[in-house]
A and B are shown apart, each in its own frame.
Chain A
Amino acid sequence: MAHTLAVTTPTDLEPDVLPANVVRGYWQSVAYRLRHDPVTLFFGMVILLIILAAIFAPWIAPYDPYKESVIARLKPFGWRGHLIGTDELGRDLLTRIIYGGRISLFMGLAPVAVATVVGGALGILAGFGGRRVNTVIMRTMDVFYAFPSVLLAVAISGAMGGGIANGMIALSMVFTPALCRISETATAQVRNLDFIEAARASGAGTFTILRFHVLGNVLGPIFIYASSLVSVSILLASGLSFLGLGVKPPEPDWGLMLSTLRQSIYVNPWICAMPGAAIFITSICFNLVSDGIRAAMDVRM
Chain B
Amino acid sequence: MDGSIMPTRMLLDIEDLTVRFVTREATVHAVNGVNLQVQAGEVLCILGESGSGKSVTLRALMRLLPAGRTRIEGRITLDGQDVLSLDRKRLQAMRGGLVSMIFQEPMTALDPVYTVGAQIIETVRQHRGGSQRDARARALELFELVKIPSPERRLDAYPHELSGGLRQRAMIAMALSCAPKLLLADEPTTALDATVQIQVLILLRRLQREMGMGTIFVTHDLGVASEIADRIAVMYAGRIVEEGPVADILNNPKHPYTQGLMASTVHAQDRQADIAAIPGSPPDLRRLPAGCSFRPRCAAALAACRERVPTPVFPAANHMARCFRVAAEMGEGA
Contacts and interface: CB of A to CB of B under 8 A. Distances in A.
A216 B122 CA distance: 13
Interface in A170-197: 193-195, 197
Interface in A215-230: 216-217, 220
B198 A11 contact: no
Interface in B169-201: 171, 174-175, 177, 195-196, 198-200
A198 B101 contact: yes
A25 B158 contact: yes
Contacts of B111: 195, 199, 212-213, 216-217
Contact of B113 (A2, A14, A217): A217
Contact of A301 (B64, B150, B154, B160): B160
Nearest to A197: B64
Interface in B137-171: 147-150, 153-154, 156-158, 160-163, 165-166, 171
A202 B123 contact: yes
A1 B108 CA distance: 31
B267 A1 contact: yes
A15 B193 CA distance: 13
B109 interface: yes
A11 B147 contact: yes
A110 to B, nearest CB: 28
A58 B226 CA distance: 80
A14 B127 contact: no
Interface of A: 1-3, 5, 7, 9-11, 13-18, 20, 22-23, 25-26, 193-195, 197-205, 208, 212-213, 216-217, 220, 300-301
Given A23-B157, A194-B109, 16 more contacts: A1-B226, A2-B227, A5-B202, A10-B147, A11-B199, A16-B149, A23-B156, A25-B158, A26-B158, A195-B112, A198-B101, A200-B95, A204-B122, A204-B123, A216-B114, A217-B112
Interface of B: 62, 64, 88, 92-97, 100-101, 103, 105, 108-115, 122-123, 126-127, 147-150, 153-154, 156-158, 160-163, 165-166, 171, 174-175, 177, 195-196, 198-200, 202-203, 222-223, 226-227, 250, 262, 265, 267
